[in-house]
Amino acid sequence: MEFSDTYKHSGPCTFSPDSRFLAVAVDSRLVIRDVVSLKVVQLYSCVDKISHVEWAPDSEYLLCAIHKRSMVQAWSVSQPDWTCKIDEGSAGITHARWSPDSRHILTTSEFQLRLTVWSLVSTACVHVPWPKHSSRGVSFTRDGKFVAIATRRDCKDYMNLLSCQGWEAMGTFAVDTSDLADLEWSPTDSTIAVWDSPLEYKVLVYSPDGRCLFKYSAYDNALGVKVVMWSPCGQFLGVGSYDQVVRALNHLTWKPVAEFSHPVAVKGPMTTVVFKEIEEAWQVDMHTLSFADSPSDNRRRVRYNVADLPVTVPSQKPPPDKPNPKQGIGLLAWSADGQYICTRNDNMPTALWIWDVSHLELAALLLQKDPIRSVAWDPIHPRIALCTGTSQLYMWTPAGACCVHIPLPQFVVSEIKWNPDGTSLVLKDKEAFCCTFVPVISEFDPDTEGDELK
């Protein structure tokens, strides 16, 4: 694997949807780089430090949210002289996002007073009062024709459906939640999943006309749902909860077809491969000893060792007297083909569980030395990249796993993101980033890629 030089950043780093550009925020400047050469293509100056960057779905425009000034600035890649500025004044702005047509921007004001749809074509705007959340509670259909917005008034949660063509209201109906946490359209655009806050285990499935198709609750009188995610095909709804179990609900019966638990002692199945990260001294072959590789060489290397079952997963017990306990399924993500789910149990922060949905069993378990910081699936292939805040990049495929040393001085990876075409990754340190260009899946050999020095 090849790594680029490091470049400065102050927060957001995101690839364009067409995989051609990388947008990087550096204080008040927005730098657009070519993905292959990393040369600067465009440079824009905003009025203050950039809080959030988002590409339009057509990769033609970008928005920069400047929360300090309650302002949003939009830019065009192909037309450097074109610009747009949105100022909410005293209402403030806490979040901004694009609509699927790339010609409207949705902003949420402070204290969730209103959600505003701004048109870049006609300069008109539409207001939706009392949105439930600033960055959550808004979901578009896959075809971009409709949007569902969670609102709250008179101590009751509602769902507002709008047409994205003219932003007319299509309907509003109450949802049976005590404190709605989020909602999400299914990939087939036929149903909407809604789930309650962690204080109550409740997952509801609604049709677009407001009918509640199913209510699901796995247990009562305990902390409930923590994370929910649809499978790419829309046939399963993955629900992770505080009881350390992931449940996959079938889209036909809306009942669990599988429950994936995360025990401390993993005994099987026997097809499960356990990869345990180890650190060891670099072995020098005395027959090929060179001046650089002397017997006193104190270099170390990190690699995976395949452990035998059963294994014990390191676990932490959260303090009972503190809020927001680090317990339960904090990470749940589907592979692009929908065959695998990766999960992380927050009271087992060094373990990544990879489940084979087609066989309803644990396919692999990755045991790291340090807590896992970031995990990302390849958008094209069944391949995972993860980091633990060290100078190592870890990767897993159904063929195996590897540890790759990043040959950059004083660079530790705290966050990773894939390019949408799956050819490269951006690796973020606290104040710098680099890119690595990943071999295609047919050329990726975990045995050779993992042979790196630390």
Q: How confident is the model at residue 270 (pLDDT cuts 50, 70, 90)?
A: confident
Of 340 and 299, the one with more pLDDT? 340
| pLDDT value, residue 51 | 96
Name the 3-class secondary structure at 75.
strand
Determine the Cα–Cα distance for residues 364 and 30; give it in Å rounded to an integer: 40
Q: Which residue has the tokens 């650190």?
A: 279
Rounded distance between C-alpha atoms, residue 177 and residue 179, angstroms:
6
Considering only CA atoms, which of 83, 23, 103, 28 is closest in space to residue 55? 23
Asked if residues 202 and 194 have their Cβ atoms less than 8 Å apart, the reply is no
Question: Residue 325: what pLDDT?
Answer: 84
List pLDDT tens digits, range 126-170.
999 999 999 999 999 999 999 999 999 999 999 999 999 999 999
pLDDT at 445 over 80: no
Distances (CA, A) of 442 to 95, 382, 399, 438, 445: 40, 12, 10, 11, 8
Outline where 238-359 has alpha helix (H): none
Return the C-alpha torsion angle 370, 400, 232, 195, nearest 10: -30
Q: CA–CA separation, 396 vs 381, rounded Å?
A: 11
Helix and strand numbers (H, E) in the chain are 1, 41
Residue 294 has pLDDT above 60, yes or no: no
Residue 375 has pLDDT above 90, yes or no: yes
